Amino acid sequence: MSLKKLDFSILQQCMHCGMCLPSCPTYDTTKRERNSPRGRIALMRAVATDEIPLSQSFADEMSFCLGCLACQSACPAAVDYATLFETSRAEIEATGVSVSAPRRLLRFLTLDLLFTRPRFLRVVGKLLRFYQVSGAENLVRKILPKRLRELERQTPRMAAQFSNDLIDPVESGDGSSKKVALLTGCVQDLVFSQVNRDTADVLLANSCEVHTPSVQPCCGSIHSHNGEPGMARENASRLLDLLPPQDFDAIISNAGGCGSHLRHFSKLLPNEPRAALWDAKVRDVHEFLAEIEVRSPDVAPFEEEKRVTYHDSCHLAHGQKVTLEPRQVIDLIPGIERVDLSESDWCCGSAGVYSLTQPEQSQLLLERKLGHIRATGAEILLTANPGCVLQIQNEMPELKIMNPVSLLAQAYRNESKKL
Amino acid sequence: MIDALTALLGAENVLTAKEDLVPYSFDGTATFRELPVAVVFPRTTEEVARCVKICREHQTPIITRGSGTGLSGGTVPTPGAIVLCLVHMTKIVEIDPANLTLRAEPGAITADIDAAAAEHGLFYPPDPGSMKISTIGGNVAENSGGLRGLKYGVTRDYVMAVTVVLPDGEVATFGNACVKDVAGYSMKDVFIGSEGTLGIITEVLLKLLPRPEARRTMLATFSSMEAAAETVSAIIAARIIPCTLEFLDQMTIRCVEDYTKMGLPTDCAALLLMETDGHPAAVEDEANRMAAIARSHGAMEVMTAADEAESLKLASARRSAFASLARVRPTTILEDVTVPRSHLAEMVTFIAETAAKLELTVGTFGHMGDGNLHPTFLTDERDEEEMKRVHQALDLIVSKTLSLGGTITGEHGVGLAKKMWLRDQLGDASLNLMKKFKETIDPDCLLNPHKIFD
């Protein structure tokens, strides 16, 4: 895939009106056009028409872009920025302008090795877990140099049990009327496996038969986002084989970043007849719950009333345009007061591996987000993407952060306790 | 020259790399492109003045730019020019509730100015479509309009004073906070709408109004554009001045419905969005009378918003007009010819017929209250033959506009996009006087050269 081979009308669709500028977190920081969506599109167009070479400077710009897709929500002309952005990153990788040995090794270890082999990923997850609970972690932290120590600190805490330990391949309740597939994700599976359990519980409580294959390939979002469309295609094909879309009423994702990618398999695999049906069946769990008119729980999730606020993950709000549904789900739950978060759909700086590749800008966005969260006075932050949870929790360990679906699951659980 | 500018502003405020310049080679206008030699970001009036002096020494033209949302090519660089970008001068310096004024730097965002006024219960009425990102300096330089023209006028009506860096690097302030001021020529009015060709605006003093307490929104559909136009005339004859009277033609309605699925009747020929604001009792009375007038003039349906949320929903039909059209084809050419209100229906029909004759796709929407139309051609700039027909259509539309006593541009400015028609509208005497004016103030033609006229 390259910018030159891309359908030129996708680039042309940008009429450079500038309506994207106020939505772009990097333009907001620098006020420079090249750091804005329309500026980046102008650079892509210049690469496509040979006005500029595909330079290191171009690569740096594409790395500086969060890929938060807030510009897509703001764009009056429906420019497909996601495709432009992923094509640019893929071309940068293919031409090797930003190649360095350590970068290549890191990409090989993560993209090639870890995120294409779910079983191996879990083994690594178990080892990490051992490292974190055995005390080795504390020892290592003492001896690491400062920069590595800061990076190490960002390593997420592995869960004691992964999704396959918590969820049977097929679960159903009384009178299940809908058959759904549950995608457990990668980070969600290793770090937030309880969110997957909660998702299954909520679906079961709403008359679904839930199919959760115990070993699932990565959805390929991380590959697509980081310029490796080949690996993304391979993962997509494996998912289609594992969960044929014709067998399910819906395919459920509970991670914003995955869902945004999962809906576009037909673009990734234009010659795959099942892809369009797959795309049509993918749902964010909150969207699905709103669609099937989720049952309102009778009791509150906590003994006391709690004030909560909701942070939109970029790829749920801008990538999937799901903004109302999570709020509707939250508002159904008794004993919960939801207050609005300012700039709730502004990126928190997590953006995949952005906190590693662009630590300064990431930190700036994180602090802005934390300021708004503190201003709400909320005791619980609700959000539906594991990346955001890790990013915010790292800096605000005292804050309780939950997926809305987990809050709902907790309320349902309290119902059965009361009986 | 670059060294001198770098010494003055610091390296981080002078861009010269090609990757940095490409994004400054265009503005919000379709098809115009030219690379600048550098982009500079001054942060004070003093720095702007010194930049001008440096450029003057080197006889380098200066293109002043804000957020680059202009729709007439006004901030597209000319060959060899530098872009002087004022996006770092964003301060709202003061709000004076006693004198109802607001002082701001040129890079302040239009929407932020109204939001700052709102905190004091005050109101800055001009609301150009790009107000979320457009800068006040750009608005003043282009004399921008918006949806509220009929009742509230345009940017010019709210400018009390401007501070300007002149082409020789001197700094002058024209106007003041006095409502009445007849001391000499009204020089501030020369700079308002001068499109960056006479001076660089580095501060503005704006007039504010009390914020209207209530607002009511209505949407009416009609089977002909004439019926909608007659409704508007009848409303004004009934001595009601609504704050908004916006229309969409059939093509635009269909595109809006395709995009928003809000349930608009796609068989109607015209849609009218009407808004009245002011004292709650007056608003209530006017809204009822406007709805009645629309019905008695053949409206197919009249919807009145019950609350603010419904108002926003109805207004979204108009707000999404441009977006809905822009999705259809790769290139969107937005025009803004304006005719006296009484000729609006005739003009809309002429545009539709011209487009049909030349086999082009056009949607027209705009401001029915003030006769300002936005014929929007949906095309593809790579198709030279079709672009030729677009230009043919534009020529015909301009001739018709002028024959009806209209203007080639109601609110976007002349810039590069419309200068070929300016003489047709103004005639030799007016245009030559304008040119003399430009030569007097900017003899070396350093500020935004070749814009408005050659």
Q: Nearest Cβ partner of B330 from A13, A32, A46? A: A13
Pair (A123, A208) in one structural domain: no
Residue found by looking up tokens 């029915």 in the block: B368
pLDDT of residue A244: 95
On whether residue A158 sits in a domain, the answer given is no
d(CA A76, CA B320): 8
- Report the alpha-carbon angle B115-B119-B124, nearest 5: 45
pLDDT of residue A118: 79
Pair (A67, A119) in one structural domain: no
Q: Nearest Cβ partner of B332 from A15, A21, A57? A: A15
On whether residue A395 sits in a domain, the answer given is yes
pLDDT reading at A332 higher than 80: yes
Work out the end-to-end distance of chain A between its first and last CA atoms, rounded to an integer number of angstroms. 58
On whether residue A391 sits in a domain, the answer given is yes
Pair (A171, A285) in one structural domain: yes
Q: Let me know: does B148 contact B243? Beta carbons within 8 Å.
A: yes
Instruction: Indicate the burial class of B98 (C-beta count within 10 angstroms; 0-12, 13-18, 19 or more).
Output: exposed
Pair (A240, A350) in one structural domain: no
pLDDT reading at A418 higher than 70: no
Q: What is the mean pLDDT of residues A64-79?
A: 93
Q: What is the mean pLDDT of residues B362-391?
A: 93
Nearest to A311 by CA among A339, A289, A278: A339
Residue found by looking up tokens 């490409």 in the block: B22
Q: Report A:53-112 residues touching B (Cβ under 8 A).
A: 55, 57-58, 61, 76-78
Which chain B residue shows the shortest CA-CA distance from A12? B330
Flag whether residue A321 sits within 8 Å of chain B, measured between CB atoms. Answer: no
Which of these three, A95, A121, A137, is where a domain ends?
Answer: A95
The string of DSSP codes covering A209-238 is EEE--SS----SHHHHHTT-HHHHHHHHHH
pLDDT of residue A419: 58
Pair (A286, A171) in one structural domain: yes
pLDDT of residue A137: 75
Which chain B residue shows the shortest CA-CA distance from A22? B133
pLDDT reading at A30 higher than 70: yes
Q: Which two structure tokens, joined as six digits, stand for A86?
A: 């992923």
Count Cβ–Cβ pairs < 8 Å, chain A vs chain B. Answer: 84
CATH number at residue A231: 3.40.50
Q: Test B323 with A43 for CB contact under 8 angstroms.
A: no
Which of these three, A49, A77, A95, is where a domain ends?
Answer: A95
Chain B positions touching A51 (Cβ under 8 A) are 22
Q: For residue B445, is it left (φ>0), alpha (ψ between -120 and 50) or beta?
A: left
On whether residue A119 sits in a domain, the answer given is yes
On whether residue A379 sits in a domain, the answer given is yes
Which of these three, A238, A267, A291, is where a domain ends?
Answer: A291
Pair (A400, A284) in one structural domain: no
Q: Which two structure tokens, joined as six digits, stand for B423?
A: 């003489």
Q: Test B331 with A34 for CB contact under 8 angstroms.
A: no
Q: Let me know: does B205 contact B161? Beta carbons within 8 Å.
A: yes
Q: Which residue has the higher pLDDT, A315 or B323?
A: A315
For residue B166, the surrounding DSSP H or E stretch is: none
Chain A positions touching B19 (Cβ under 8 A) are 34, 43, 52, 55, 57-58, 61
Q: What is the mean pLDDT of residues B284-295?
A: 95
pLDDT of residue A174: 75
CATH number at residue A48: 1.10.1060.10
The strand pair at A380-383 and A336-339 is best described as unpaired
Q: Let me know: does A249 contact A218? Beta carbons within 8 Å.
A: no
| Helices B344-357/B225-237 angle, 10° precision | 160
Beta carbons within 8 Å of B211's beta carbon, 6+ residues apart: B117, B118, B121, B122, B123
Which chain B residues touch A if contact means CB-CB below 8 Å?
A: 15, 17-20, 22-28, 30, 41, 67-69, 87-88, 109, 130, 132-134, 320, 322-323, 326-327, 330-332, 380-382
Pair (A121, A221) in one structural domain: no
| Helices A404-418/A324-331 angle, 10° precision | 20
Q: Test A22 with B132 for CB contact under 8 angstroms.
A: yes
Pair (A86, A111) in one structural domain: no
pLDDT of residue B181: 94
Q: Test A12 with B19 for CB contact under 8 angstroms.
A: no
Chain B positions touching A8 (Cβ under 8 A) are 382
Pair (A285, A361) in one structural domain: no
Amino acid at position B86, single letter: L
pLDDT of residue A162: 87
Burial B289-307 (b: 16+ CB within 10 A, else e): ebbebbeebebbebebbee
Pair (A258, A347) in one structural domain: no
pLDDT reading at A39 higher than 80: yes
Q: Test B20 with A38 for CB contact under 8 angstroms.
A: no
For residue B209, the surrounding DSSP H or E stretch is: strand B209-210
Q: Test A16 with B28 for CB contact under 8 angstroms.
A: yes
Flag whether residue A138 sits within 8 Å of chain B, measured between CB atoms. Answer: no
Flag whether residue A27 sits within 8 Å of chain B, measured between CB atoms. Answer: no
Dmax (CA) of chain A: 71
Q: Let me know: does A390 contact A187? Beta carbons within 8 Å.
A: yes
Q: What is the mean pLDDT of residues B111-115?
A: 97
- Report the alpha-carbon angle A28-A31-A35, nearest 5: 85
Q: Let me know: does B259 contact B320? Beta carbons within 8 Å.
A: yes
pLDDT reading at A113 higher than 80: no
Interface probe for A, chosen from B9, B15, B16, B22 (most Cβ of A below 10 Å), is B22
d(CA A74, CA A110): 33
d(CA B106, CA B104): 6
Q: Test B67 with A58 for CB contact under 8 angstroms.
A: no
On whether residue A2 sits in a domain, the answer given is no
d(CA A332, CA A301): 12
Nearest to B175 by CA among B140, B126, B209, B139: B140
Q: Test B23 with A12 for CB contact under 8 angstroms.
A: no
Instruction: Indicate the burial class of B57 (C-beta count within 10 angstroms; 0-12, 13-18, 19 or more).
Output: exposed
On whether residue A1 sits in a domain, the answer given is no
Chain B positions touching A34 (Cβ under 8 A) are 19-20, 22-23
Q: Test B23 with A18 for CB contact under 8 angstroms.
A: no
Q: Let me know: does B102 contact B91? Beta carbons within 8 Å.
A: no
| Helices A229-242/A273-281 angle, 10° precision | 80
Q: Test A32 with B27 for CB contact under 8 angstroms.
A: no
pLDDT reading at A72 higher than 90: yes
pLDDT of residue A173: 80
- Global pTM exceeds 0.90: yes
pLDDT of residue A195: 95
Domains of chain B, first to last: 2-85 (3.30.43.10), 92-210 (3.30.465.10), 214-320 (3.30.70.3450), 323-403 (3.30.70.2740)
Interface probe for A, chosen from B43, B133, B387, B412 (most Cβ of A below 10 Å), is B133
B363 strand-pairing partners = B376
d(CA B384, CA A28): 37
Which chain A residue shows the shortest CA-CA distance from B18? A52
Q: What is the pLDDT of residues A350-405, one digit of tens each?
A: 988 898 889 999 999 999 999 999 999 999 999 999 999 999 999 999 999 999 99
Instruction: Indicate the burial class of B318 (C-beta count within 10 angstroms; 0-12, 13-18, 19 or more).
Output: buried
Share of chain B above pLDDT 90, in %: 85
For residue B282, the surrounding DSSP H or E stretch is: helix B280-296
Amino acid at position A383, single letter: T
d(CA B190, CA B397): 28
On whether residue A206 sits in a domain, the answer given is yes
Confidence of residue B260 (pLDDT cuts 50, 70, 90): confident
pLDDT reading at A111 higher than 90: no
Q: What are phi and psi of A34, to 5 degrees?
A: -65, -20
pLDDT reading at B171 higher than 80: yes
Flag whether residue A291 sits within 8 Å of chain B, measured between CB atoms. Answer: no
Chain A positions touching B26 (Cβ under 8 A) are 16, 42
The string of DSSP codes covering A291-313 is HTTPPPPSS-SSSS-EEEEEEPP
d(CA A399, CA B116): 33
pLDDT reading at B440 higher than 80: yes
Nearest to B438 by CA among B418, B423, B453, B417: B453
Half-sphere CA count of A21, side-chain side, radius 13 A: 25
Pair (A358, A339) in one structural domain: yes
CATH number at residue A399: 3.40.50.1860
Q: Test B332 with A78 for CB contact under 8 angstroms.
A: no
For residue B65, the surrounding DSSP H or E stretch is: strand B62-65
Q: Test B27 with A33 for CB contact under 8 angstroms.
A: no
Amino acid at position A297, single letter: P
pLDDT of residue B87: 98
Q: Test B19 with A34 for CB contact under 8 angstroms.
A: yes
pLDDT reading at A107 higher than 90: no
pLDDT of residue B122: 98
pLDDT reading at A148 higher than 90: no
d(CA B378, CA B389): 12
Q: Test B26 with A16 for CB contact under 8 angstroms.
A: yes
| Helices B384-403/B419-441 angle, 10° precision | 70
Chain A positions touching B18 (Cβ under 8 A) are 52
Which chain B residue shows the shortest CA-CA distance from A10? B330
pLDDT of residue B406: 96
Q: What is the pLDDT of residues A132-141, one digit of tens each?
A: 877 777 777 7
pLDDT reading at A144 higher than 80: no
Nearest to A369 by CA among A352, A389, A354: A389
Confidence of residue B264 (pLDDT cuts 50, 70, 90): confident
pLDDT of residue B393: 96
pLDDT of residue A122: 78
Structural domain boundaries, residue A225: 163-291
Amino acid at position B306, single letter: A
Q: Let me know: does A84 contact A65? Beta carbons within 8 Å.
A: no
Q: Nearest Cβ partner of A57 from B17, B87, B88? A: B17
Which chain A residue shows the shortest CA-CA distance from B67? A18
Q: What is the mean pLDDT of residues A68-93?
A: 93
Q: What is the pLDDT of residues A160-181, one digit of tens each?
A: 888 888 999 999 887 778 999 9
Flag whether residue A17 sits within 8 Å of chain B, measured between CB atoms. Answer: yes
Flag whether residue A19 sits within 8 Å of chain B, measured between CB atoms. Answer: yes
d(CA B217, CA A58): 47
Q: Nearest Cβ partner of A76 from B326, B331, B380? A: B326
Q: What is the pLDDT of residues B323-374, one digit of tens each?
A: 889 888 988 999 999 999 889 889 999 999 999 999 999 999 999 888 999 9
Amino acid at position A72, single letter: Q
Lowest average pLDDT, out of A47-56, A275-284, A353-362, B100-109, goes to: A353-362
Q: Which two structure tokens, joined as six digits, stand for B369?
A: 């209250």
d(CA B355, CA B389): 9
Is A171 strand, coil or helix?
Answer: strand
pLDDT reading at B427 higher than 90: yes
Rounded to the nearest integer, the mean pLDDT of chain A is 90
CA distances from B413 to A289, B12, B192 (A): 50, 32, 11
The string of DSSP codes covering A337-392 is EEEPPTTTTS--S-TTTHHHHSHHHHHHHHHHHHHHHHHHT-SEEEES-HHHHHHH
Q: Test A76 with B20 for CB contact under 8 angstroms.
A: no
d(CA A29, CA A171): 48
Beta carbons within 8 Å of B122's beta carbon, 6+ residues apart: B95, B97, B100, B102, B208, B209, B210, B211
Chain mean position to CA B81? 24
Q: Test A42 with B41 for CB contact under 8 angstroms.
A: no
d(CA B77, CA B128): 23
d(CA B24, CA A31): 12
Name the domain count of chain A: 4
pLDDT reading at B311 higher than 90: no
Q: How many other C-beta atoms are found inside a 10 Å radius of the C-beta of residue A241?
A: 10
Q: For residue B254, is it left (φ>0), alpha (ψ between -120 and 50) or beta?
A: alpha
Q: Test A78 with B26 for CB contact under 8 angstroms.
A: no
Dihedral over Cα of A33, A37, A42, A48: its sign: positive
Q: Test A31 with B327 for CB contact under 8 angstroms.
A: no
The strand pair at A178-182 and A250-253 is best described as parallel
Q: What is the pLDDT of residues B211-233, one digit of tens each?
A: 999 999 999 999 998 899 889 98
Pair (A107, A82) in one structural domain: no
Q: Which residue has the higher pLDDT, B335 or A100?
A: B335
